[in-house]
Amino acid sequence: MAAWPIFKPLALSSRNLINIDRHVHFIGIGGVGMSGLALILLDRGFSVSGSDQQKKANLQKLISKGARIFFSQTAENIESIRTLTNGRKPLVVLSSAIDPNNPELIATKQAQIEIWHRSDLLAALIQEQEAIVVAGTHGKTTTSTIITTMLALAQKDPTAVIGGLVPHYNSNAHSGSAALLVAEADESDGTLVKFHPSIGLITNLELDHIDFYKNLEHMIQTFQIFCNQSKLIIANYDCPILQRYFNPDAWWSIKMSEKVDFAAIPVSIDGSQTIANFFEKGNYVGKISIPLPGLHNLSNTTAAIAACRIHGISFRELQNHIKRIKCPGRRFDYRGTWKGRHIVDDYAHHPTEIRETLSMARLMINSKKTDLPSCPDRLVVVFQPHRYTRTKKFMNAFSKSFSDADCVLLAPVYPAGEKYIEGANSVALSRQIKNINPDLEVLVAQNLNDLIKLTKEKTFKDDLILLMGAGDINCLWQKLNDQTNSFDPKLVA
């Protein structure tokens, strides 16, 4: 069996490393990336505050750890923070989601307070320790979750900043005791070029986020910068774009064991697990049993094994830990059963992600093997398109991605702050889907209440209802159950 080295941390930069005596304020602290960074700072002893316009459940944890939370984004928040810190100027952190006209941001600039983008804070954490950073168009959250879980089970206790809930920690972030960080790199705004990890991993690459990227070439160039700044790169040989434009230090594949450094060739796959033969540098090293269905999850797991092997974990140890991995939150996330219908929540919002997730769900139905309470008979997809730009650009690709469904219910487009684009709507998408799949039942809801009505009318006992999208489609589960928001505003100091 090949011996893989343990890579040492990169030399630290003296630029912008955070002083623990400095107060840090997050504008939009409830976002999954922002809240994760805030949790790590709180666990490391920092004074933290933040604002968010929605009373999100993850804010309760921040409050319990001592964060001051504002449920508005006004200029007064900045003055309040300066009063709390005896007039000292805090460090203000924001994400790309914050509008330039946000009153709190304007007040920050007027007070001449230093502003960091979320990626600057993550880059500072990456600079301080050995880091495994996962990038790519699809599978980042799952891959980084599996890496984190296996390292934790191997008693490495890594710090983790993930774009979803990691089941092992029941959190999207963890401040570990070891000198190791696992992070998910968001490519949507190009900020992954700020990262200089010890190990960079690219799951795959295809055009997305066209609100930022001019074209595929622009996206490739951005990822190439990330590669050049990583001490070592691991990449997916099965991705044609990566194979053509990149030259990593190590390849992985689930299609072939030759010409690659790591390979997992499937032997058996059904709706509850995948069994594969694992190879290193073309040599068979043993079988792995993954409690996740779907070839995309096999690829994600193979990538995670590769990263852990390069970090220095033995294959035999990983072989045992793999049996305990789970998908992160909102990745084929079983929410419960409603009137005999199994409700699953999934973040998929790109045609490739939809196609792979539906293929996995269909495998459960066809193989009659599933980890759901019972095997479903039909697959009903409730999809909320995300962004007008994405809907318009990939209209044809979206229409081809629903072939494995028995029924499709479309919600209105979740704009994510974008202005309406003519023809980039769910009615147009429904027509395209019907053109390709004339026998597929496709219905369009006018609003959330209409979507609830359609879901109740068009689904039956033993259906698998798959809620898909990157917006707020997951709230449908609560609405079906008449659940109310359990967040208690009295917790706010």
The domain locations on the chain are 24-116, 129-324, 333-480
Q: What is the DSSP letter of 414?
A: B
Confidence of residue 464 (pLDDT cuts 50, 70, 90): very high
In CATH terms, the superfamily for domain 129-324 is Mur-like, catalytic domain (3.40.1190.10)
pLDDT number for residue 10: 34
How wide is the angle at C-alpha 263 spanned by C-alphas 261 and 269, nearest 5°?
175
Q: For residue 352, is pLDDT > 90?
A: yes
Q: What is the maximal distance between C-alpha atoms in the chain?
A: 67
248-258 confidence digits (pLDDT tens): 999 999 999 99
**Is the Cβ–Cβ distance between 230 and 236 less than 8 Å?**
no
At residue 253, the 3 state secondary structure works out as strand
248-295 confidence digits (pLDDT tens): 999 999 999 999 999 999 999 998 899 999 999 999 999 999 999 999
C-alpha to C-alpha distance for 385 and 350, rounded to whole angstroms:
9
pLDDT number for residue 57: 80
**Is the Cβ–Cβ distance between 33 and 163 less than 8 Å?**
yes
Q: For residue 334, is pLDDT > 50?
A: yes
Query: Which has more pLDDT, 486 or 305?
Result: 305
106-128 confidence digits (pLDDT tens): 999 999 999 999 999 999 999 98
pLDDT number for residue 482: 66
369: buried, middle or exposed (CB in 10 Å: 19+, 13-18, 0-12)?
middle
Confidence of residue 329 (pLDDT cuts 50, 70, 90): confident
Name the token pair of 353.
């992600």
pLDDT number for residue 488: 34
Q: For residue 478, is pLDDT > 60?
A: yes
Q: What is the mean pLDDT of residues 46-65?
A: 91
pLDDT number for residue 485: 37
Residue 191 half-sphere exposure, CB side, CA atoms within 13 Å?
16
Phi and psi at 478, nearest 5°, equal: -65, -40
Q: Choose among 40, 54, 52, 45: nearest CA to 23.
A: 45
Name the token pair of 474.
């997951």
17-47 confidence digits (pLDDT tens): 577 888 999 999 999 899 999 999 999 999 9
Q: Choose among 208, 97, 187, 200: nearest CA to 144.
A: 200
Confidence of residue 493 (pLDDT cuts 50, 70, 90): very low
pLDDT number for residue 17: 59
Q: How many Cβ atoms from other residues are within 10 Å of residue 304's Cβ?
A: 30
Q: For residue 305, is pLDDT > 50?
A: yes
Q: Choose among 174, 156, 155: nearest CA to 164.
A: 174
Q: For residue 492, is pLDDT > 80?
A: no
pLDDT number for residue 487: 34
Q: What is the DSSP letter of 88?
A: -
How wide is the angle at C-alpha 132 spanned by C-alphas 129 and 134, nearest 5°?
140
Q: Which of 48-57, 238-247, 384-393 has the lowest mean pLDDT?
A: 48-57
pLDDT number for residue 6: 36
**Is the Cβ–Cβ distance between 290 and 276 less than 8 Å?**
yes
DSSP string, 150-199: HHHHTT---EEEEEEEETTTTEEEE--SSSEEEEEPP-TTSGGGG---SE
Catalytic positions: 140-141, 184
Q: For residue 336, is pLDDT > 80?
A: yes
**Is the Cβ–Cβ distance between 311 and 9 less than 8 Å?**
no
Name the token pair of 42.
């709180």
Q: Choose among 405, 402, 384: nearest CA to 463.
A: 405
C-alpha to C-alpha distance for 141 and 423, rounded to whole angstroms:
31
Confidence of residue 152 (pLDDT cuts 50, 70, 90): very high
Name the token pair of 250.
């190590």
Q: For residue 7, is pLDDT > 60?
A: no
Query: In terms of CATH architecture, what is 24-116?
Result: 3-Layer(aba) Sandwich (3.40)
- Per the prediction, the chain carries an average pLDDT of 91
pLDDT number for residue 15: 38
Confidence of residue 417 (pLDDT cuts 50, 70, 90): confident
Q: For residue 56, is pLDDT > 90?
A: no
pLDDT number for residue 84: 84
pLDDT number for residue 53: 87
Percentage of residues of the chain with pLDDT beyond 90: 83
C-alpha to C-alpha distance for 5 and 383, rounded to whole angstroms:
44
Q: What is the mean pLDDT of residues 2-8?
A: 39
163-199 confidence digits (pLDDT tens): 999 999 999 999 999 889 999 999 999 999 999 999 9
Q: For residue 361, is pLDDT > 80?
A: yes
Q: How many Cβ atoms from other residues are within 10 Å of residue 318's Cβ?
A: 21
In CATH terms, the superfamily for domain 333-480 is Mur ligase, C-terminal domain (3.90.190.20)
Task: Beginning with the edge strand found earlier in the chain, give each strand of the sheet holding 48-51 in spatial order.
Answer: 68-70, 48-51, 24-27, 91-94, 115-117
